[in-house]
Chain A
Amino acid sequence: MALRMWASSTANALKLSTSASRSALASPAFSLARSFSTVLEGFKYASSHEWVKHDGPDHLGEVVFVELPEEGKSVSQGNSFGAVESVKATSDINSPISGEVVEVNTKLSESPGLINSSPYEDGWMIKVKPSNPSELESLMGAKEYTKFCEEEDASH
């Protein structure tokens, strides 16, 4: 199953659609919690708020380097599996689900900026075989996520 998400810059909302089905799992509309900052294919979630172009500024800036795990490595929900470097800062990339890394996007070593320019297409990071599909239910839906982002930005 791969879900594709993209942001509407004018409507400040997320739209979801499913691609051709690849799995027997149900495919509700959902996206990553704001604290997660990755695109996973296998389930192709929207990446975090910094890749969803709200009217506000881009929080991380231009990505200049990406550190990713090797194939076969395990990832677990909520924990870091890699890092991005931008504007003198490295930031953890946290996984929204647990599972095994089955593929890594090698294009990112030469072109880390794909994460900025093409987060939902060429800028994918890793493909994960999920070990616990019920984790998907803990992720937020599109409307809930949009509201979450707005509230978080408003509180600062």
Chain B
Amino acid sequence: MAVSQTRNLGLPLINLLRLKGVPILQQLHLEERLLRTSSDNWCIINDGTIDPTIVMGISGKPQELLEIESILRDDIPVIRRFTGGGTVIVDQGTIFVTFICNKDAVPGLQSYPQPIMSWSSLLYKKVFQGIEISGFARMIDYASCTAVVLSDYVLGDRKFGGNAQSITKNRWVHHTSFLWDYEISNMGYLKLPKRAPEYRQARDHLEFICRMKDYISRSSFIDRTIEAVGSEFLLRSAELEDAHCTLGSKFEPSSRLLRKQELGEAIFKSLTASQS
């Protein structure tokens, strides 16, 4: 039986790319390109992004999720990303950790949402071991009567990190945004989502989230994450130039900035919906 070239000492190889302050749209484009055009495993850590930016999931409807008038007034960029899931507002206080893997990279892991989220929750358990942050919100899936890992990272019932994924035929990406710190005023740009996990219990953002900085330092979190990744993969340090070298030039990423005109049209949609 042939041994995969990406394995050494029994562990799969992963390229570790450490970034700081890279704009979130650039990060998303990089992730999507690596997902679609690379055959390596990647772990990307982006320590903060420079400007406050709203990031919706692939099916996010601005009129339902955003306070659009405030966003237009304050010129806050709004991005629709290529993965599913909810809406976040990210800034310098956000730490991003992304895994982009071949479907056979992690032995025994099926490339479906639940197994991937379970796997990552176990990895982050190692990161937070011994620290007060140790909860992973679960919900009961009544259809199967099992406790399903929700993939929200919580302290008590307050969320400090959330993630989303995209799964292709042979690879998957699982990315997380961690609220190491945030601006209270920024949360005012987000509406209460219609679709939310039960444990949220209709709380608005400020009652629902918490800051990691109260429990762990920035550098400690990143170091512990790298250590946890190193327990499952053989780490190979990579630079941004390395990532760009492997990329196919024809690929067009789908994550994009919404135009102001689109946001304006969304206001119109919400007004007509409320009148009907």
Instruction: Give residues in A with beta carbon < 8 Å to B.
Output: 35, 50, 57-61, 64-65, 67, 78, 80, 83, 85-92, 94, 156
Does B143 interact with chain A (Cβ within 8 Å)? yes
B84 surroundings in chain A (CB, below 8 A): 64-65, 85-90
A92 surroundings in chain B (CB, below 8 A): 167-169
Q: How far is the CA of A92 from the CA of B103 in the complex (A)?
A: 13
Interchain Cβ contacts under 8 Å between A and B, 29 examples: A35-B169, A57-B114, A57-B144, A58-B143, A59-B110, A59-B112, A61-B114, A65-B59, A67-B58, A80-B169, A83-B166, A85-B57, A87-B114, A88-B57, A88-B83, A88-B84, A88-B86, A88-B151, A88-B163, A89-B85, A89-B164, A89-B165, A90-B84, A90-B167, A92-B167, A92-B169, A94-B169, A156-B108, A156-B109
How far, in Å, is A94 (CB) from chain B's closest CB?
6
How far, in Å, is B7 (CB) from chain A's closest CB?
18
Asked if residues A88 and B165 are in contact (CB atoms below 8 Å), the reply is: yes
Does B195 interact with chain A (Cβ within 8 Å)? yes
Instruction: Give residues in B with beta carbon < 8 Å to A.
Output: 57-59, 82-86, 108-110, 112-117, 143-144, 146, 151, 163-169, 195
A156 surroundings in chain B (CB, below 8 A): 108-110, 115
Asked if residues A83 and B58 are in contact (CB atoms below 8 Å), the reply is: yes
B110 surroundings in chain A (CB, below 8 A): 59, 156
Count A-B pairs with CB separation below 8 Å: 75
A90 surroundings in chain B (CB, below 8 A): 58, 82-84, 165-167
B167 surroundings in chain A (CB, below 8 A): 89-92
Q: How far is the CA of A90 from the CA of B163 in the complex (A)?
A: 12
Q: How far is the CA of A65 from the CA of B59 in the complex (A)?
A: 6
Q: How far is the CA of A86 from the CA of B85 in the complex (A)?
A: 8
Q: How far is the CA of A80 from the CA of B169 in the complex (A)?
A: 8
A64 surroundings in chain B (CB, below 8 A): 59, 84, 195
How far, in Å, is A93 (CB) from chain B's closest CB?
10
Task: Give the residue name and chain of the A residue nearest to B164 (CB).
Answer: A88
Task: Give the residue name and chain of the B residue nearest to A92 (CB).
Answer: B168
B144 surroundings in chain A (CB, below 8 A): 57-58
| Option from B109, B112, B146 in Cβ contact (under 8 Å) with A60 | B112
Asked if residues A85 and B163 are in contact (CB atoms below 8 Å), the reply is: no
B113 surroundings in chain A (CB, below 8 A): 60-61, 86-89, 91
Task: Give the residue name and chain of the A residue nearest to B171 (CB).
Answer: A92
How far, in Å, is A154 (CB) from chain B's closest CB?
12
A35 surroundings in chain B (CB, below 8 A): 169
B85 surroundings in chain A (CB, below 8 A): 88-89
| Option from A60, A78, A87, A88 in Cβ contact (under 8 Å) with B169 | A78
B116 surroundings in chain A (CB, below 8 A): 89
Q: How far is the CA of A94 from the CA of B168 in the complex (A)?
A: 9
Q: How far is the CA of A58 from the CA of B116 in the complex (A)?
A: 15
B109 surroundings in chain A (CB, below 8 A): 156
Asked if residues B168 and A80 are in contact (CB atoms below 8 Å), the reply is: yes
A59 surroundings in chain B (CB, below 8 A): 110, 112, 114
Q: How far is the CA of A58 from the CA of B115 in the complex (A)?
A: 12
B143 surroundings in chain A (CB, below 8 A): 58
A89 surroundings in chain B (CB, below 8 A): 83-85, 112-113, 116, 164-167
A78 surroundings in chain B (CB, below 8 A): 169
Q: How far is the CA of A156 from the CA of B146 in the complex (A)?
A: 18
B59 surroundings in chain A (CB, below 8 A): 64-65, 85
List 11 additional contacts besides A88-B164, A156-B108; criterion CB under 8 Å. Answer: A59-B110, A59-B112, A64-B59, A78-B169, A83-B58, A86-B113, A89-B85, A89-B113, A90-B166, A91-B168, A156-B110
How far, in Å, is A126 (CB) from chain B's closest CB?
17
A94 surroundings in chain B (CB, below 8 A): 169
